[in-house]
């Protein structure tokens, strides 16, 4: 993934940047809250419930980024008819998100 990537201005998630950052800060807070629960010897199922809430929140961020990526980079490549490496990469990404 370290290959020459397109210019930053092509990254369309900039419109969602604040939203994405806010979601990630909330996830960071959830990770801290779960540490506190473990320290306090809370009941396993309650902790697992918080972990699944955190996982769902992370998946929403992935989906938002995926949407921005498709509307941005992928659509751009399709319009300009170059190569087409984006779609296999996208499928790989979807597969990875699905696996988690």
Q: Return the residues of window 14-33 that contact a copy of itself according to CB under 8 A.
A: 14, 17, 20-21, 24-25, 27-28, 31-32
How many chain residues touch a copy of itself (CB under 8 A)? 65
Q: Are 68 and 12 in contact (CB under 8 A)?
A: yes
Q: Return the residues of window 72-91 that contact a copy of itself according to CB under 8 A.
A: 72-75, 78-79, 84, 87-91
Our finding on whether 98 is near a copy of itself (CB under 8 A) is: yes
Residue position matching structure tokens 């990875």: 96
What 3-state class would DSSP assign to 98? helix
Q: Are 74 and 86 in contact (CB under 8 A)?
A: yes
């Amino acid at each position: 993934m370290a290959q020459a990537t397109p210019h930053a201005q092509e990254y369309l998630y900039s419109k969602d940047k604040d939203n994405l950052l806010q979601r990630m800060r909330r996830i960071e807070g959830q990770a801290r809250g779960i540490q506190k629960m473990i320290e306090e010897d809370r009941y396993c199922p309650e902790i697992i419930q918080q972990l699944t809430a955190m996982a769902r929140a992370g998946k929403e961020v992935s989906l938002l980024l995926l949407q921005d990526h498709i509307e941005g980079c992928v659509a751009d490549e399709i319009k300009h008819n170059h190569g087409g490496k984006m779609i296999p990469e996208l499928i790989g990404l979807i597969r990875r998100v699905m696996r988690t």
